[in-house]
Structure 1
Amino acid sequence: MDRKSRTSRLASLEESNEEASLWKEICTSLVKLETIQREAGNVITNINKAAQTSGFLDNGIPSGLYQRLKDCYRDGITLSSSEIKTINDIIEKVSVLIALRDASEYNGIDGKRKKRKHDSMEEKSTVNGSPSTTCTSTTPSATHTPSNKKVAASQPNQKDTRNDEWILARVLQFHADKNKYRVEDVDRDEFGHTQRYMLSPRQVIPIPDNMDNQPEYPSGRHVLALYPGTTCFYKAIVMTPPSKNKDINASGTYKVQFEDDNNEIKYASPNHVLETPNASK
């Protein structure tokens, strides 16, 4: 089987544009995070001052002080939510950057996994036989995958969603009137462009942000997993789940074996190990 992975482009200045652009986004997000944390620190200071002041009052807390405390707590909650969102965004971008940079090693070591071909630099989709500029989702449901959510997306030219290759993508928008998602490939072509697609819900699998409520796949389970050093998901079999992985340097990860990969054991992050698409969808 000829697997097509997307390798990073570190061989020349032109090829490094993708990583440089992503690193710039990470730095911008880190500055934003620092600002949020500084503002949160100021809010905590104000809350402590107000609390100390109220401790010296014999007749309870005046309405003005009460309102100030209430506003401070509200600001603190808002900043905390913003901090969590920014941290998750940074973690996701760093994960993608690591995958893109590590891909250069697999470009020379694993020759059979060639770069995935980009058929065009424009958005692709066919709705009733005509081109469209919309995208995919996870399952036809009233609860749709939100914008900026990372997903595994089946390529538009793959009519069978059970095909073995899915790409790492980002949801741009959900079109409720068509029940379709517009998604963007996280990988860039040699010109620095990304591809955008219109996909049906069954062509999209959301990537979980929090693994606390996610089930652990047992040994022997067939899954889709992100191949190390690439931005592509392939069919694999769980060899060892995270709870039973005793490897010191890879604790908390899955041990998986990809199809047609010389029986080699690879490691995959839990949030990059997904349930295989249902054939009935």
Structure 2
Amino acid sequence: MSSSVGGGSAGGGGVDMVSLLEKAKDLDQLKKEQDEIVADINKIHKKLLASPEMVDKPVDTILLKLRGLYARAKELSENEISASNALIGLLDGLLQSGASTAQKKKIVAFYISEVGEQKKKRIKSDTDSARFSAASMRNQLDQAASLKGEQVAARVKSDDEKDEWFVVKVIHFDKETKEYEVLDEEPGDDEESTQKKYKLPMSYIIPFPKKGDPSSAPDFGQGRQVLAVYPGTTALYRATVASHRKRKSDDYILEFDDDEEDGALPQRAVPFYRVVALPEGHRQ
């Protein structure tokens, strides 16, 4: 590729299209990297919100990682300013070059063609990602439909102060509305005597680990906050893992929030298949 397009300006100087295109590519790449950094920062924030206990032990590691990400974001932002200023300078040079209108049109057409090719590649990449996301969603819908007849954890009630989770049975999943129809098989004393049905969105349902397959169940370490079925009930409450398990098939020893007896929290055994991850933003 020639370093100038249009045969040079009236004053004999050419417009450096190579530099112009390289700076445009730099700007595009910087934007992409910034998006990736922001995504990484948001992932850490979500983990901290979902599991506040993460801050208790590896606090220095988390803070150092966040600092590194923010420092990189600052560096990219400064580089973006530099690349933008360089582009402005190159475009000012084109405007002041004395090139004829025909030459400028030729230069702009070439620039649009090259940048357009970059955008096509980016769009193709985004399209491929969208296809992957669509396949992932189909997989999620298939998994949701496969829960028919299974017991799951469900957020059946919610108000300004707390969420209420119960063990329910999945009757049906509608792939169009992305809603579960579930049955509360054991309504409490304050409920109607008949079993009650609910229609709930996907985000209100958490599948339990398979009772016969402990190897596929998540392993929550000591100190981790979880959502678990309180012994002798079908209600789930927030609890903290009190001790380390030797095998994944072992019961969890949990301390449930607000379960104080004689000034202390009793430790209660709960089967691994009745313990799930604590939902983000859980209120109790």
Same fold (TM over 0.5): no
Where is the helix percentage greater, Structure 1 or Structure 2? Answer: 2
Q: TM-score, normalised on structure 2?
A: 0.43
Structure number with higher relative contact order (C-alpha < 8 Å, ≥ 6 residues apart): 1
Query: TM-score with structure 1 length normalisation?
Result: 0.43
